[in-house]
A and B are shown apart, each in its own frame.
Chain A
Amino acid sequence: MKGKPLVSMVSAGLSKFGKLEGLYAREIFAEAAKEAFDRCPNLDPKKDIKALFLGHMGESYEHQGHTGATAADWAGLLHIPATRTETACASSGAALRAGIFAVLSGLCDTVMVGGVEKMTHRTTAEVTEYLAMASDFPFEQWHGITFPGLYALMATAHMHEYGTTEEQLAMVAVKNHHNGFLNPKAHMQKEVTLEKALSSRVIAWPLKLYDCSLITDGGSCVIITKPEIAKKYTDMPIQIIGSGQASDSIGIYERESLTSLIAAKIAARQAYEMAGVRPEDVDVAEVHDCFTIAEIIGYEDLGFCKRGEGGRLVESGETKLDGKLPVNTSGGLKSKGHPVGATGTAQAYEIYLQLTEQAEKRQVKDANIALAHNVGGSGATATVHIFRRE
């Protein structure tokens, strides 16, 4: 069964990422859905799409819960079953997995999975508070630990244990900003120098402004179907051949390790095994870089390098666009932006473009196997998906 397609991705859509003034989540999601419909003229959305799974993290932003049904309605899919999945920043990674379950169960032939978040109309203090809700309230939030603070705790430990440097953290930002500079849909299409990243203001030491992903509005979606009927919709379906998901304690203080996310390691192992793929087979990857340290830990958890070697891997340049294993060709959460609920399927969108050779200036040559790594909060959820060109 190894490497057998679980489902086929036949289309994908992404709204512009950024500060989308005056637009609300449902309207932003509709923009992403429209692109997915337009890319797939053989698909009749009203007839063919049997369900929506929507990743969305926070009611607080727009004072709006029950967003699955709302998103389906605004996408023109009124009355289909629409369910919101919430696993913090991995909400749409989980939506993708829920969609895979729906198709594999045989209950639905074709479903839309996606995600959305509207964040930029709130103050930074408010967003800081809402994001912290993905962490433990009685012991982390209660003691003033912010969401960047949790990753800063991991960064300090990683620096102490493995000699990872602030420069290496900044190199993740420089790399991802270069990629985002080439992505017309990225929030911050701007190159950043190492000096600028290193001298930016401190958010939670050792993490500075340029170590943090952006507060962004955005929506994303992909359409998945049974592999047997995928050719009905497109000549170039992308196969999802591995899917993993795991959880961990909500408080990082309860974990065995402060320098590794066990949920991500378990999810990766499941996905690799299912796909019959090894880390060295991966040609291009989207790795959850909510903070620069998260990408470095992600390299290690995904087996792209040995434990403790993540800082040196980014320094080697191998994860740059022209390196052996380009990571975050989209610009990642760092430069493309991190509309929390939208991130998981935004990663799948980038992989769809890469594997169908539509990534334009940031196209990776001859990419065949791709991986998406989506982490919820400080690691209490992780999903890993592996994709293959047909």
Chain B
Amino acid sequence: MSEQAPFTIEQFYKYISQGKLMGGKCKKCGKIHLPPRPLCDKCFSKEFEWIQIQPKGKLLTYTIIYVAPPQFQQMAPYAVGIIQLENDLKIPGMIKEVTLEQIKIGMNLTVAFEASPTTSQWPQWPRYYFKPA
């Protein structure tokens, strides 16, 4: 039963590895949390249900990273942005499968999912990213 899964960041990324963008909806006040959290910051309830978020949205803002931390240096320059999803939700992520010059605020993007990394080091979260719709 997916309802039993804890409303945590760890569980959010487990769903990402299954190709699903999942948020936690507060059973008391209805606020949707993406990423989910175990305590509702609006009404302090701990009762939630999982809700699948449509993996598509509009680009709100973006940047092209040229100077990257060591683990991303080989990918630079790369684009990251924040997208507006349904229900007023927003998430950040990389924008791929597009030439950098084509990226524009307002463009339609879908969320794509990568497999979990195979390292044994924490964290083993898979990554999602955005690509043109």
Residue ranges of A at the interface with B (Cβ–Cβ < 8 Å): 124-126, 128-129, 132, 138-146, 148-149, 152-157, 160, 201-207, 251-254, 258
Contacts and interface: CB of A to CB of B under 8 A. Distances in A.
Q: For B63, B75, B129, which residue has the most chain A Cβ atoms within 10 angstroms?
A: B63
A203 B81 CA distance: 15
Contacts of B82: 153, 252-253, 258
Nearest to A142: B125
Contact of B70 (A125, A153, A251): A125
Given A138-B35, A153-B81, A160-B105, A253 B66 contact: no
A139 B91 CA distance: 8
A258 B60 contact: yes
A160 B92 contact: no
Contact of B35 (A139, A141, A153, A204): A139
A138 B13 CA distance: 9
Contacts of A254: 90
A157 B70 CA distance: 27
Contacts of A124: 67
The size bracket of the interface on B is 20 to 34
Contacts of A207: 63
B53 interface: no
A145 B9 CA distance: 18
Given A128-B68, A140-B92, A202-B77, 12 more contacts: A142-B125, A143-B94, A144-B65, A145-B65, A148-B67, A153-B62, A153-B81, A157-B60, A160-B105, A202-B66, A252-B82, A252-B92
Nearest 7 CB-CB pairings of A with B:
A152-B63, A157-B61, A205-B64, A129-B69, A144-B72, A253-B92, A253-B90
A258 B60 CA distance: 9
B73 interface: yes
A253 B80 CA distance: 12
A206 B65 CA distance: 10
